[in-house]
Chain A
């Protein structure tokens, strides 16, 4: 059922582009096992160019595993993953995998900045060493991205001198510096103090409004509701329900979606 729905969503894509190229990310029949645990079950997950998809669901539902399979930080047990027409599989050489990964910016829940490098060096590292960009040019790009996330004055600071919200904005700038075709956010605000969440969400909203392709695994229902083009609800490794935010939040069809949203939106 999930499969039929997502295919419908895919075929109703941007009219100007041909069918295959309207998809930036295409996940078909994805299964993932950790030992005996079947954490992702027959997932079809196509993402159109310029689409912002929020993936929600209870802890342990497989949201993070799904997003980590998209850039092969986790190797799928079975299924097909295609990024902008290039298919990912376990037989890819390290160099081929790197070719695809550099087109996907990833933002982690715990930032994963490089603590021994300054903010500017964190942002320029991959453009210099992966894209072979000249240092001066990479620094110019990095400074404009840091200005964009509101951290122009922190270029020479070390990550340990930043707050959580600032670290995450640096991590976003670092991902953007590679000029990726899509951005993957793995619970980007879940490790932040509540008062720091909004500075990160605002940056993410601005990116979505620019028309960037984004997949956001999140517990921030406000963000999913107001920013995402599509909300995907995952439970026990299956896509249980998906659609535009008004549908999913307004009239959830599935009982489990309803129960989850009720718990999250009315915790007391």
Chain B
């Protein structure tokens, strides 16, 4: 028991840092995913053929290929393209930006490009799935309500803003939560780019521990942490769904 407590106490700072990095990766990737997914979702139902095909191309290529390989393409492929074509070194650029913003505390010096491409890769990947959630939400709003809004003289933009989006957002919450939860767990893939996130750091400790019970306790701690983060997301979503249930068309 004493050995277990000692092991956990000595590992605590590293595990805490890994947890923070995991959450940071998830938050930034989720923001990128939403920033891409919302316009792409609207693009999928746009009347402009070019916008529609571009959005469809994005969604289908990303959905059709594995996240792990996409991460390699970002880190080994895109970084070289940026460097050779635009002489853009992500390592220095991002580091300078983050230093300027005084927010580079998470990153090991010199390892910024792996974090950058890891988070961008994860965000691009999830953006495609979120685009489909957004599209489904928009299409689930009764077209009769859009007609009613038009017949009252509301413009296309006002109709989207006042009638379609508020309802679409409400409908998107459950599938969006689902996506955010898997996004949190998929941050564990980022270890392939050397990101010291929770799974990698936990694994690192376990390889150095001979006692099976202590080793499994470390895995248990990591699993519990993922569970707590994801369950918290689920609870927030449930709370919001309950609070807004009366606004659904079919509600009673």
Contact = CB atoms under 8 A, between A and B. Distances in A.
30 contacts: A73-B147, A94-B156, A95-B155, A99-B153, A101-B150, A101-B151, A101-B152, A105-B151, A108-B147, A112-B142, A114-B148, A114-B163, A114-B167, A115-B251, A116-B170, A116-B247, A117-B247, A125-B154, A126-B149, A126-B152, A126-B153, A129-B154, A130-B154, A130-B158, A158-B247, A160-B246, A161-B246, A174-B152, A175-B152, A178-B152
B25 to A, nearest CB: 34
A110 interface: yes
B158 A129 contact: yes
B151 A73 contact: yes
Contact of A129 (B147, B162, B248, B252): B162
Nearest to A127: B152
A160 B246 CA distance: 7
Interface string A84-103: 00000000001100110110
B69 interface: no
B145 A112 contact: yes
A115 B151 contact: no
By secondary structure, the A interface counts as: mixed
B166 interface: yes
Contacts, number: 82
Interface string B152-175: 111110100011001100100000
Interface of A: 71, 73, 94-95, 98-99, 101-102, 104-106, 108, 110, 112-117, 125-126, 129-130, 158-161, 171, 174-175, 178
Nearest to A121: B162
B162 A125 contact: yes
Contacts of B166: 116
B110 interface: no
By secondary structure, the B interface counts as: helix
A158 B246 contact: yes
B154 A98 contact: yes
Given A115-B167, A160-B248, A106 B153 contact: no
Contact of A104 (B151, B167, B252): B151
Contacts of B167: 114-116
6 cross-chain pairs, A with B, having the tightest CB-CB distances, nearest first? A102-B153, A112-B148, A126-B152, A116-B247, A106-B151, A115-B249
Nearest to B147: A73
B144 A130 contact: no
A86 to B, nearest CB: 13
B64 interface: no
Contacts of A94: 155-156
A115 B142 CA distance: 10
Nearest to B156: A94
B248 A115 contact: yes
A61 to B, nearest CB: 21
Given A114-B163, A125-B162, A130 B247 contact: no
A99 B155 CA distance: 10
B108 interface: no
Nearest to B146: A112
B251 A108 contact: no
A114 B162 CA distance: 9
Nearest to B163: A114
Nearest to B166: A116
A97 B170 CA distance: 30
B66 interface: no
A155 to B, nearest CB: 15
A114 B251 CA distance: 13
A123 B65 CA distance: 48
A239 B148 CA distance: 27
A102 B149 CA distance: 10
A113 B12 CA distance: 56
A39 B252 CA distance: 38
A113 B162 CA distance: 13
A160 B158 CA distance: 23
Nearest to A177: B152
Interface string B210-252: 0000000000000000000000000000000000101111111
A160 B153 CA distance: 24
Name, among B142, B148, B150, the residue most crowded by chain A CB atoms within 10 Å (CB to CB): B148
Contacts of B153: 98-99, 101-102, 126, 130, 178
